Chains A and B, each alone.
Chain A
Amino acid sequence: MIRFRIIKREPLPGWARIVIPIAAILVTLILSAIPILLAGGHLWKSYFYLFHGALGTRYNLLETFVKASPLLLTGLAVAFAFRAKFWNIGAEGQLLAGALTATVFGVHMGSFPSVLVLPTVIIAGFLAGGIWASIPALLKTKLKVDDVVSTLLLNYVMIHIMGALLFGPLQQPGSSWPRSSAIIDAACYPILVARSRFHMGIIIAFAAVLVIWFINKKTTFGYRSKAVGTNIRAAHFGGINTTSVILWTAIISGGLAGLAGVGELCALQYRLIMDISPGYGYSGIVIAMLGNLHPVGVLFSSLFFSVIIVGAQTMSRMTGVPTYIAEVIQGMALMVMLIFLLFTEYKIRLIRK
């Protein structure tokens, strides 16, 4: 008789942290062959168009970055919160709060000097996301309300607030659709590469990676936040003001998600619409986990996700495999990564009897 036993393994060397994600992605692609074949696609052709569609042409490559920027920001938002064990499932709502506030400022700041407009819009969007995230943080610290539930439910609250405003005061005059007026030109993100949609928000997202890495690694706040996430009782015992750490972690996390909303509004849509986010906030959770809550990990996992999303369009057009395959691959990637992470700490031993 053969039995399996899961036992702890010796710590892996440093290079494993690079090799494991790559191996996880390879395994994901191998496993994804099954649904592609089931959908009647030709395997090599499908994978070729998947990657060619995302990376093969200048426009598509830049488009991959466009898609990556909101994913990167929501991924960072979730990763930063999770590191302190603030279970922020509400990046979607915080993104919408950011987009909504950016709309209000972006539409109505016509009489201001134009240099002030964009910074104001960005800061307002960041704060809106942060303040929206501070509600569940306060509920958690003051009233012990479970943060998973409150952050998740506040997403729906924000969707309905947005709906109410888009059918009410924010609705474009004369329109019967739930959409706002267009924001003024001064509130639009500059396009940085000609003949593309490569905009300033992408730079903001990449800068956010550096900022979060810096906060985590170099600041006392990053240290406190990690301590709170590791053992809140011991952190409290050690004199850390855990309430304030959780609150500020939530504000920064929500602010990052809010910036994702500002980017979608000011660089791509230019007006608020109901489906301004196809669930970037939720994808952020998967991306944060896939990136092992590390900012650089989040950077790569968001790029991987955007490659899959953008490439799936081309693949679908050229081979007839439905674009939903992108979501299958994303889900698969998370599963494989979680299993791989498990095996960084444990191994299976066969016992023969």
Chain B
Amino acid sequence: MENNDQPVVKMASVTKRFLDVTANKDVSFSLYSGEICALLGENGAGKTTLMNILFGYYTCDEGAIFIKGKRADLSSPKDAISRGVGMIHQHFALVPSQTVLENIIVGADPGLFLNLKSARRQLLELQVRFGLKIDPEAKVWTLSVGEQQKVEILKALYRDVDILIMDEPTAVLAPAETAELFNTLRSLVKEGRSVVFISHKLNEVMDISDRIVVLRSGQVVAECQTAETDARELANLMVGRELLETIEKKELPPGEPVLRIKSLAALNDKKLAAIRSLDLIVRRNEILGMAGISGNGQKELSEVLFGMRCPTGGFIQINDKPLKFGSPTASIKSGMGRVPDDRIDTGLLMDLSVEENLILENHSSADLQNFGLMKSKHIQQFSSDLIKKYGIITAGRDAVTKSLSGGNLQKVMLARELAGEPSLIIASQPTRGLDVGAMEYIHQRLLQERERGAGILLISEDLDEIFALSDRIVVLFEGKIMGEAPGATASREQIGLWMSGVKA
């Protein structure tokens, strides 16, 4: 490590405000050549904002940026790229219908005519150098998420980027792909390039980084060499308080089944089999954790249960009554609380008020309306109660929903879905993208529901969450249950093998 050298990037006292929210406050950040620096922090800690400033995506309100010793006034990502700074966002900026090669050269070739041949040669050379194997002629939409990420990295390297920012790159990857990515990053820094690795996953940060900068509420709270710290210390720095050691879970004998799925089959949007002959039982007082890498049918399974997708075969019973397929209303009436993985597009009406979201499933009940007229007093009471009960932080019942933070959005979602005391809860990725505090709240809430007597199907990619909450664990692989193990005694290795399709 060459920490005594001049840093390649120096951000001095950077402050960035969005209206009344200060995303970064007086942040100073340095990056040295040949290092992987992890930027660690909860959601909303200001990691992405800080890096977006370095990438010229935002301009800072105060402070200065120096890249390779020279002051840089960046007003667009183009300015940043010309100085060798590249950033790969969580959502890729690729054109699905074009080939890998086309995606890589788009916008990089200054001339009027494309020189595909030399671009191709250059691309292949980069691939060999960094072990990023990918067919240049493949259309991007045919690639997996991990492969698309490789395309993004190649795109940055093709532009001669030597300071690469990666925003939560592992969030979308399977464990094997993560290992591959880490190898690539290591080979990058070996050449003297630098990487900023944004994450809130402690283990990965410990694994990959040379140095760690911890952000909390927009400020740098710690900076340390990875070798001189450990995960516990980092967790406390990140959250600013001691985390709950483990989750307190009461011993409860499982009750009678609330959900029975028999030989269910369903297609995905591309009309390919997504669920193949799936059998499943969820009982009262039980959390059934469904692990698996995303894209193995979780989305389709939850959509079938939610009434948003018609299966091609099989049947589902809820409380011993058959579920009518393809009708969200039938799912609601069956006593199901539904937490979709996509709360912004499917779960919530972001442009309406918090109150209007809370009453969505209840607005036609006799409590809240009379002959089609809304009982505004009752509605106010209903929504105020839920806001209070779930501790939703909002400017008021009438505040527009999109003004809420991610954790509070999920609280609105839960408040609405749990208001009717459902006997079955389908929670699909309930804590994805949430910070540790909100995550803890959601976990406690699910455990309370379990104690109340609900049966819970927890579909999650987060193994920590699965292990912490589940009474039983099943693994979904290519639309089938690969294996089942009791939550208390399941081994991570076993689950991991099932997740990657290895039957042991």
Show the binding face of A for B, using Cβ within 8 Å. Answer: 3, 8, 10, 218-221, 223-224, 226-227, 230-231, 233-241, 351, 353
Q: How far is the CB of B428 from chain A (nearest CB, A)?
A: 12
Q: How far is the CB of B352 from chain A (nearest CB, A)?
A: 5
Q: Cβ of B19 and Cβ of A223 under 8 Å apart? A: no
Q: Cβ of A234 and Cβ of B373 under 8 Å apart? A: no
- In the complex the two chains form, what is the Cα distance from A218 to B328 in whole Å? 25
Known: A237-B346, A238-B328, A239-B361. A231 touches B73 (CB 8 A): no
Known: A220-B372, A237-B308, A239-B328. A231 touches B361 (CB 8 A): no
Q: Cβ of A227 and Cβ of B19 under 8 Å apart? A: no
Q: Cβ of A233 and Cβ of B345 under 8 Å apart? A: yes
Closest to A221 in B: B372
Residues of B within 8 A of A223 (CB): 356, 359, 363, 374
- In the complex the two chains form, what is the Cα distance from A226 to B374 in whole Å? 14
- In the complex the two chains form, what is the Cα distance from A223 to B364 in whole Å? 10
Bin the interface of chain B by size: 20 to 34
Q: Cβ of B363 and Cβ of A234 under 8 Å apart? A: no
Mind listing 19 A-B residue pairs with CB under 8 Å? A3-B75, A10-B19, A219-B372, A220-B369, A221-B372, A223-B356, A223-B359, A224-B363, A227-B349, A227-B360, A230-B349, A231-B349, A233-B346, A234-B345, A237-B306, A237-B328, A237-B340, A239-B361, A351-B75
- In the complex the two chains form, what is the Cα distance from A234 to B345 in whole Å? 6
- In the complex the two chains form, what is the Cα distance from A227 to B306 in whole Å? 18
Q: Cβ of A220 and Cβ of B363 under 8 Å apart? A: yes
Q: Cβ of B360 and Cβ of A238 under 8 Å apart? A: yes
Q: Cβ of A234 and Cβ of B349 under 8 Å apart? A: yes
- In the complex the two chains form, what is the Cα distance from A233 to B303 in whole Å? 12
Flag whether B347 is at the interface (Cβ < 8 A): yes
Residues of A within 8 A of B347 (CB): 234, 237
- In the complex the two chains form, what is the Cα distance from A3 to B349 in whole Å? 36
Residues of B within 8 A of A8 (CB): 19
- In the complex the two chains form, what is the Cα distance from A219 to B356 in whole Å? 13
Q: How far is the CB of B33 from chain A (nearest CB, A)?
A: 29
In B325-377, the 8 Å CB interface with A consists of 328-329, 332, 338, 340, 345-352, 356, 359-361, 363-364, 369, 372-374, 376
Residues of A within 8 A of B356 (CB): 223, 226-227
CB < 8 Å neighbour of A218 from B350, B352, B373:
B373
- In the complex the two chains form, what is the Cα distance from A236 to B330 in whole Å? 12
CB < 8 Å neighbour of B329 from A10, A234, A239:
A239
Residues of B within 8 A of A219 (CB): 372-374
Show the binding face of B for A, using Cβ within 8 Å. Answer: 19-20, 59, 73, 75, 306, 308, 328-329, 332, 338, 340, 345-352, 356, 359-361, 363-364, 369, 372-374, 376
Closest to B338 in A: A237
Residues of B within 8 A of A227 (CB): 349, 352, 356, 360
Closest to A5 in B: B59
- In the complex the two chains form, what is the Cα distance from A234 to B361 in whole Å? 11
In this complex, the member of A10, A235, A237 whose beta carbon has the largest number of chain B beta carbons within 10 angstroms is A237
Q: How far is the CB of A218 from chain B (nearest CB, A)?
A: 6
Question: Known contacts A220-B364, A220-B369; can you find 20 more A-B pairs with CB under 8 A?
Answer: A3-B75, A10-B19, A219-B372, A220-B363, A220-B373, A220-B374, A227-B352, A230-B350, A230-B351, A230-B352, A231-B345, A231-B351, A233-B346, A234-B345, A237-B328, A237-B338, A238-B328, A241-B329, A351-B59, A353-B73
Q: How far is the CB of A158 from chain B (nearest CB, A)?
A: 31
In this complex, the member of A218, A224, A231 whose beta carbon has the largest number of chain B beta carbons within 10 angstroms is A231
Known: A3-B75, A218-B374. A235 touches B349 (CB 8 A): yes
Residues of B within 8 A of A234 (CB): 345-349, 360
Q: How far is the CB of A323 from chain B (nearest CB, A)?
A: 41
- In the complex the two chains form, what is the Cα distance from A52 to B33 in whole Å? 76
Residues of B within 8 A of A233 (CB): 345-346
- In the complex the two chains form, what is the Cα distance from A231 to B306 in whole Å? 17
Closest to A226 in B: B352
- In the complex the two chains form, what is the Cα distance from A236 to B345 in whole Å? 11
Q: How far is the CB of A163 from chain B (nearest CB, A)?
A: 40
Q: Cβ of B349 and Cβ of A236 under 8 Å apart? A: no
- In the complex the two chains form, what is the Cα distance from A8 to B73 in whole Å? 22
Q: How far is the CB of B328 from chain A (nearest CB, A)?
A: 5
Residues of A within 8 A of B364 (CB): 220
Q: How far is the CB of A2 from chain B (nearest CB, A)?
A: 12
Residues of B within 8 A of A221 (CB): 372
Closest to B351 in A: A230
Q: How far is the CB of B78 from chain A (nearest CB, A)?
A: 14
Q: How far is the CB of B368 from chain A (nearest CB, A)?
A: 8
- In the complex the two chains form, what is the Cα distance from A353 to B363 in whole Å? 54
Q: How far is the CB of A272 from chain B (nearest CB, A)?
A: 36
Q: How far is the CB of B71 from chain A (nearest CB, A)?
A: 13
- In the complex the two chains form, what is the Cα distance from A224 to B347 in whole Å? 15
Residues of A within 8 A of B20 (CB): 10
Q: How far is the CB of B377 from chain A (nearest CB, A)?
A: 13
- In the complex the two chains form, what is the Cα distance from A8 to B19 in whole Å? 8
Residues of A within 8 A of B359 (CB): 223
- In the complex the two chains form, what is the Cα distance from A353 to B329 in whole Å? 57
Closest to A214 in B: B373
In this complex, the member of B338, B349, B373 whose beta carbon has the largest number of chain A beta carbons within 10 angstroms is B349
- In the complex the two chains form, what is the Cα distance from A159 to B338 in whole Å? 49
